Structure 1
Amino acid sequence: MSIRKKGVRILLLALVVAALCVVPAFASSSAGNVADAVEQTWTDAAGQIKTVVDTVVFPALSLVLAIAFFVKLAMAYFDYRKHGQFEWTGPAILFVCLIFVLLAPNYIWNIVGI
């Protein structure tokens, strides 16, 4: 059997399996109102999203920014020792970003509406 025929058979088999696995998805029971389905999904998932963001995302961002801040502060100190001038811009920006990420959970949910 040629390679082309094998390829066509595999492709047809994959299409048949995909057709058998397809399940129709309806927006909601009220005549396909997509907006209501999206709002209901958001309402159901909002608490879980908030929990994951508060316990995973913000601490991970805080950790990355804290490491970057201390590394940049050390590099600025070594540059100061070498050149005699301390550059505050990099550490200051990272410090402000770190404070922003640490305080964000207190007010970000009021903005989003959760």
Structure 2
Amino acid sequence: MPVKKKLTAVCVLTAAVCLFAATAFAETGDVAGVIQSTWQSAVQQIKTVVNTVVFPALDLILVTAFFVKAGTTYYEYRKHGQIEWTGLILLFAGLVLSLTAPLYIWTIAGV
């Protein structure tokens, strides 16, 4: 009985793949041109998503980490009398780079 169920599952899966598979045809035989035009439209979508979703999420994470680190640095200063600046400076530099990244990242990536 398990063999029959496995065979049925494989047949259903094969039928689903054949049913939902889409074929792409290049009308003039210029496959490279079709791929390049598809890539150009995909690049614009990728840029939009990265600029509107990824960078703001990264900024939010870095701002939260910066303020948490600033709070813990203050408490360590109150406890030990000295300030450790390294963590704050690194988080601030990462935040500045992340905030300004949409201005220069696409020219570096060559897109």
TM range (shorter): 0.7 to 0.9
Give the equivalent residue in structure 2 for 1:25: 24
Paired with 1:12 and 1:46, the residues of 2 have a C-alpha distance of 37
Give the equivalent residue in structure 2 for 1:14: 13
CA separation of 1:59 and 1:43: change in aligned 2, threshold 3 A = same
Q: 1:32 Cα shift?
A: 5.7
Give the equivalent residue in structure 2 for 1:87: 84
Q: 1:97 Cα shift?
A: 0.3
CA RMSD in angstroms, aligned pairs only: 2.2
- Higher relative CO (Cα under 8 Å, sequence separation at least 6) belongs to 2
Q: 1:23 Cα shift?
A: 3.0
Give the equivalent residue in structure 2 for 1:63: 60
What is the count of residue pairs matched by the alignment? 111
List runs of 5+ in structure 1 lacking aligned partners.
none
List runs of 5+ in structure 2 lacking aligned partners.
none
TM-score (structure 1 length as normaliser): 0.77
Paired with 2:34 and 2:65, the residues of 1 have a C-alpha distance of 42
CA separation of 1:43 and 1:68: change in aligned 2, threshold 3 A = same
Give the equivalent residue in structure 2 for 1:46: 43
Q: 1:111 aligns with which of 99, 108, 111?
A: 108
Q: Which amino acid in the other structure matches residue 85 of structure 2? A: W
3-state SS of 1:58 partner: helix
Percent identical pairs in the alignment equals 45
Q: Which amino acid in the other structure matches residue 23 of structure 1? A: A
Q: 1:11 Cα shift?
A: 2.0
